[in-house]
Chains A and B, each alone.
Chain A
Amino acid sequence: MKLIHLTIATAILALTVSSCKKDEPITPTPTPETGNIVVTSNVTVNTTWTNDNIYQLGGRITVTNGITLTIEAGTVIKGEAGTGANATALLVARGGKLMANGTATLPIVFTSVADEITSADLVAGNFGSPNLASDVDGLWGGIIVLGKAPISASNSGSDLAQVQIEGIPTSDANGLYGGTDATDNSGSITYVSIRHGGTNIGSGNEINGLTLGGVGSGTTVENIEIVANQDDGIEWFGGTVNVTNVVSWNCNDDALDTDQAWAGTLDNFVVISPAGHCFELDGPEGTMTATHTIKNGTVIASDGTRNAQDLINVDANSMVNLTNIHITGIQTGQQVNRVTASGVVFSGITMDVLSADLASHVNGTVPAGITVGGSTSPQADLTRFSWTWAAEAGKL
């Protein structure tokens, strides 16, 4: 069986190579060694990745303007190793669309080539990696979705309403994002688990598990899991997209990070033991201002071995409503920083500490919206996360 597979693969490879012309993209072909389909070219025609293949990202693969990449439920996509500007990643450029719609029984998994997981594992309901631990990070890049929705970047007073996304060097103009179309549609991303990514680019320059830069409200982002990203779990750079049902587990920097006046809502999420901030919520950088809402979540600030740097970190000009978030696993020294920022509203934030210790976990006067609370406090609806590796590993 394997031999036949190999023969077909070789035949297709030979055919493709012989029919290669400069003006048409290469048809991806499975490699003889792994059977994976190695993708090395940008997606410049509408393309579907089907769940009978494993797709291997050979570089920074960009879905270009006007093009749709569809990924079937139950498909596994694996990034090759690489670091620096050569990190592998899936980039959806402005005007491009990613239709990656998994289901609760058949999610889509983005991981590293080192991960032995297959579509068959997913079909069998085994969502965790068969061979990689849940804290192995930095093996590849991540997913970057860029759109034309407004951002509050620092040059927005002038004609520079677009900026370059973090993690993509300026040698690639597909890294530009931002615009004026608040309802911009970058596609639909549901039931997607992104693992072991976030490879190092340079200090302070990074690839997040899921980067959403200027993504518009026409885009659907629901049921997302990030596991062991070397940088942030999800980072928003402006935009208007709403995101629901998120797990961010074992990220080596911030679990959730917002910048440039993201004007959307994150509803229902679980954050587990990031190494950086649980929330890194920055203010607008340009003249445009907007508030985002983060609500209905559970935060496990330490799982015993991995400790978050702090609990909530905002800037003086941050604008965010934090509502109904329960924080547990809190260690001595972990704090909510800067509670004086006028644009930040805390309500229903409960901390699983002794009343006497509450003040020590807040840097400043404890706001009315932050109280001591136990496990009955309002928090995430965990029933939505049955499909995640975190659930399978019993981390929720």
Chain B
Amino acid sequence: MKKLYFIALLLTSSLVYSQGTISGTVFDGETGETIINATVQVLGTSKGAVTDFDGNFSFKLKSDTYDLKISFISYETILVKKVFVANNETTILEEIKIDQKSEEMAVFTVVGEQVRNTEGALDIIKMNDVKMLDGITSDKIKLTGDGTAGEAAKRITGVSVDGGKYIYVRGLGDRYTKTTLNGVSIPGLDPDRNSLQMDIFPSNLISNIIVSKNFTADLSPDFAGGAINIETTAFPDKKVFDVSFGMSYNPQMHFNNEFLSYEGGNTDFLGFDNGTRSLPTNANSNNIPTPISGASKEEVYDFVTSFDKELGAKQQTSLTDYSLALTFGNQFDLKNQKSKRISYIMSASYKSEYKFYDNVTYGEYQKSLESSDTELKYATVQNGQIGERQFLIGLLGGIAYKTNEDQLKFTAMHLQNAEKRAAQFNIDNNGEAVGQSGYIASSDNLEFNQRGLTNFLLEGEHIREKSNWEINWKLSPTFSSSEDPDIRKTAFTNAPLDTFFSAGAGGNPTRIWRNLNEMNLAAKVDLTKKYSFREKEGKLKFGFSEIYKSRDYEILFFDVQFFGGQNWTNSNPNKVLDQENLYTQGGNNIYFQSGNKNPNPNSYESSVNNIGLYVSNEYMLSKKLNTIVGLRAENYVQRHTGRDQLYASGDEFNGTNLEDEKVLESFDLFPSVNLIYKVKEKQNLRFSYGRTIARPSFKELSFAQILDPISNRIFNGSLFKYADWDGNLQETRIDNLDVRWELYKKVGQMISVSGFYKFFDKPIELVRIPEQQTSTEYQPRNVGDGMVLGLEFEFKTNIEMISSEKNIFSLSGNLILVNSQITMTDAEYNSRNGYIKKGESITNKRQMAGQSPFVVNCGIMFTNKESEIQSGLFYNVKGPTLYIVGAGLFPDIYTDPFHSLNFSINKKIGKDKRTKIDFKVSNLLGDNNYNYYSSFEAENQPYSEFNIGRTVSVGVSHKF
């Protein structure tokens, strides 16, 4: 059954001749694919057009009322009556569908590109794609008012977002989520995570975000929860010139004179440091000038003064958040060649934000040693305020060349982001806790993180209708960097009689430079051949992909040292590096000592070469049963250059040094079977099996030892052998089984129920090292086998009872319930048993880390077409999730559900309804971000807690 769908955007321009432009898109009602060469006629005139490669058409008309006729071979003709084209009005026509002609026509395959930026179109894609998809489109993002991809993604069924950055699909942690940009792999920006930071994508650059929840052979197999693809703004088929401006106000964060910041550099607002925080010259040398390095007094003094003197946070008044965005694009025909078109797009956005958390807590807690005492005991509690400035710049430019058979696109994008943070904490260390000596300290922390991502994408699409071939290829290099120049922590230890710096208590002042550079080169080609076999349609798809990525990472750190005793009359951190405190200038004799060996054990280079080949066949076994069977083969080689501490300190015999050595090599086959049974019209029953993989990250397969100076927690690369860990980290192979029943009703209304089961062969988890009790150290290790069993439910419906033609109320929601289980290693089981409390029973099974037991998303929306008002109330929550696995003395850490309730409303105003005003209130319930320690019958205690308050945002956008 073939149906045409038609979306027409009626544009009226304010030309003096009272002319307007009608443009729209025609697509197949069944597949969602756009239709090329469909005829659009304006009845009663000689005007007409043929749809282009993207199914688009447009023509100019005088202001009047018209009937449109849209026809295409083998499809029922659509008649759209009384389309009013006027000067001062913009009308969006509803999607219209018609049935297929009753008589059979010659088989004609419809090819083209899918429309993906409206929710209605997305439903059609979901219904017809061989994958089980969910997603969000720019249409809905405009309604919810979400500012970044991270905020928008959490609306997607089964998706939750951690910290506004990291995506969890079906509650599975970011390790099991793969993110691509326009279908190609890009590097992550966080050295500590496997997945991409989603907050760096401003929503005005996004056309849609689509999640594939099951595997087909044409996808990269390195995911289990979902493969997420962010598609950037589509090329326009008409002139687009949009400008928007927004502001937000949060009473806790803005116009607050206690906001914390520091000087920094004068280009901070552009998302990068101007060199103020650069590593001083000589600091990277083997023998930095110190009193004991053989350097002269003057050299030591000069070296100390080459470091920025600013160590303290200072209060200043914060302003409000604001954002600006601009998009400009057009399409034009090449001279005299109607079928050859060029379109281009340019988009820029800027966002500046102030975040102020006036009551932040970081805690380290321990179990009691007594089996009868269930309460948790604190080791260290830090309490204070954090002021943060965020700057985000997004730039995108693209150009496309289209004919009816070929399309070439080139897109370039750069994202630049900076987070500038200043914090003050009071630190209380409990001498009664295990491994702690007890002290009180007050610290000032200054941080700056800058991230940059530059992506180029060259892609081609070639369709040969006669031979039924389609070729797609992509070439995409991406360069990214994440730098933390000059992180400073200065903590005075406050003893009853003295205030001073104590290595064994609050620590000496420390400064850290971290540098990460990553490059990704991705290439892929997909070939599709449509065929007919025994009068049934089929599609054979095969292709090749290669990804080469490399990363280099380095951490350098320097400690303040005192050559002799200390005497502080002024404990202002900004006075610490005053001249009278420096080496040989006075009592405190400050100099900098290097924590960096040469070669640096905290520096590594890694690379991956990943080659994939696949073949996949789609065939309609019967009119109702579609089968997609595929096999993908991948060869994966990971290399590492790095060394352990022992080697770095000169022990070439017992130490280990790797020079571009293979640390992981695997050849894997990834089979997949997908069955789609069409129970009825618009009702599918799907079944899918696929084998996928989760590979260790660069950082995980390294000798890196990364100290977070603020929380004082240490990450150890897995290559270190330790206690019962053999230093041999393995990839995780995952078997995925999925079923889904789905029913699509009218446009924008659907219901689906899915079930899934996943088996993980020795998954990797970040394990707290129980043998280390003084500091908090983690190492990624393979743990026991895991499994996940889940149920997913989604619906979108209009509330007919209270809706009318003008006022439409609709309700949408999704719910996911997951039961996950990990078999503990013996070491973990024993270490838990060693702390068993009276009345507690411990088995060797537990919830998987990062796996939320449930995720709920729902929203109620209201649309009034006449007054052009759209409004929505959206709720999102994720169940308590095991965040970090505890061990022995250390309890498990959970993430508390964050009840996010947002309200948004927008209205179009002005003569042409070209101006839109948005109003939004975020976190209506005023919930806090809270991670906590949990133990048998114990009161929960904070691991991290901060309040974010409520935010009111207002935005204006205008289309020229």
Where the two chains meet, the residues of A that have a C-beta atom closer than 8 Å to any C-beta of B are 22-26, 38, 40-42, 44, 58-60, 81-86, 88, 112-114, 133, 135-139, 153-160, 162-164, 166-167, 169-173, 176, 198-206, 230-232, 250, 252-254, 257, 259, 275-277, 280, 282, 284-287, 305-307, 309-310, 313, 315-317, 331, 333-334
Contact = CB atoms under 8 A, between A and B. Distances in A.
B564 interface: yes
Interface string B373-411: 000000010000000000000000000000000000000
A163 B559 contact: no
Contact of B507 (A22, A24, A200, A334): A200
A59 to B, nearest CB: 2
A82 B648 CA distance: 12
A193 B777 CA distance: 32
A155 B653 contact: no
Contacts, number: 266
Given A201-B775, A202-B712, A205-B712, 4 more contacts: A59-B649, A83-B595, A139-B292, A253-B503
For A59, A172, A199, which residue has the most chain B Cβ atoms within 10 angstroms? Answer: A59
B774 A204 contact: yes
20 contacts: A38-B650, A59-B646, A81-B593, A82-B595, A85-B595, A86-B597, A155-B771, A164-B773, A166-B435, A171-B720, A200-B510, A230-B504, A250-B565, A252-B503, A252-B504, A253-B437, A257-B437, A307-B498, A309-B496, A313-B438
A164 B772 contact: yes
Interface in B489-512: 491, 495-498, 500, 502-508, 510
Interface in B689-709: 703, 705, 707
A253 B703 CA distance: 31
> Which of B427, B720, B775 has the largest count of A CB atoms less than 10 A from its CB?
B775
B775 A286 contact: no
Contacts of A313: 431, 438
Interface stretch (B44-52, B446-454, B572-580, B829-837): B829-837
Contact of B595 (A23, A86, A88, A250): A86
A231 B835 contact: no
B429 A83 contact: no
Given A138-B503, A254-B504, A156 B593 contact: no
B611 interface: no
Contacts of B649: 40, 58-60, 82, 86, 88
Contacts of B434: 154, 285
B875 interface: no
Given A41-B651, A83-B561, A203-B507, A157 B722 contact: no
B562 A40 contact: no
B773 A154 contact: yes
A171 B650 contact: no
B797 to A, nearest CB: 54
Nearest to B509: A200
Given A59-B649, A59-B650, A156-B834, A202 B888 contact: no
A58 B654 contact: no
Nearest to B721: A173
Contact of A85 (B441, B502, B507, B645): B645
A313 B430 CA distance: 12
A84 B835 CA distance: 31
B504 A253 contact: yes
Contact of A170 (B648, B703, B777): B777
Contacts of A155: 770-771, 831, 834, 888-889
Contacts of B85: none
B802 interface: no
B640 to A, nearest CB: 15
A268 B952 CA distance: 69
A202 B707 contact: yes
B805 interface: no
A200 B722 CA distance: 23
Contacts of A204: 380, 429, 436-437, 439, 504-505, 507, 712, 774-775
B563 interface: yes
A306 B595 CA distance: 28
Interface string B626-651: 00000000000000000011101111
Interface residues of B, number: 83
A120 B530 CA distance: 91
Q: Considering residues B495, B596, B651, which has the most beta carbons from chain A within 10 angstroms of its beta carbon?
A: B651
A84 B645 CA distance: 11
B646 A42 contact: yes
Contacts of B722: 170-171, 173
B601 interface: yes
Most A-side CB within 10 Å, residue of B290, B441, B563: B563
A200 B564 contact: no
A157 B367 CA distance: 14
A199 B503 contact: yes
B620 interface: no
B779 A170 contact: yes
B705 A171 contact: yes
Nearest to B600: A86
A276 B437 contact: yes
B103 interface: no
B716 A169 contact: yes
Contacts of B565: 135, 250, 305-306
B594 interface: yes
A82 B380 CA distance: 27
A275 B498 contact: yes
Given A60-B649, A83-B594, A305-B565, A158 B833 contact: yes
Given A112-B292, A253-B502, A84 B557 contact: yes
B508 to A, nearest CB: 5
B800 interface: no
A47 to B, nearest CB: 14
A163 B834 contact: no
Contacts of B105: none
Interface in B646-665: 646, 648-654
B723 interface: yes
A250 B564 CA distance: 10
Contacts of B563: 136
A58 B650 contact: yes
Contacts of A169: 645, 705, 714, 716, 772, 777
Interface in B553-587: 557, 559, 561-565, 567
Contacts of A257: 437
B369 interface: yes
**Which among B290, B434, B506 has the highest number of chain A CB atoms within 10 Å?**
B434
Contact of A163 (B438, B496, B645, B772): B772
B432 interface: yes
Closest 3 CB pairs of A and B: A59-B649, A40-B650, A114-B292
Contacts of A333: 496-497
Given A40-B651, A276-B437, A307-B498, A285 B369 contact: yes
A144 B60 CA distance: 86
A310 B440 CA distance: 13
A334 B769 CA distance: 37
A35 B506 CA distance: 38
B843 interface: no
Nearest to A313: B431
A171 to B, nearest CB: 4
A157 B431 contact: no
Nearest to B500: A275
Contact of A231 (B431, B497, B504, B773): B504
Contacts of A309: 495-498
B291 interface: yes
Contacts of A163: 770-773
Given A160-B770, A170-B720, A170-B779, A203 B497 contact: no
B293 interface: yes
A240 to B, nearest CB: 20
Contacts of A317: 369
Nearest to A113: B292
Contacts of A206: 503-504
Contacts of A42: 646, 651, 653-654
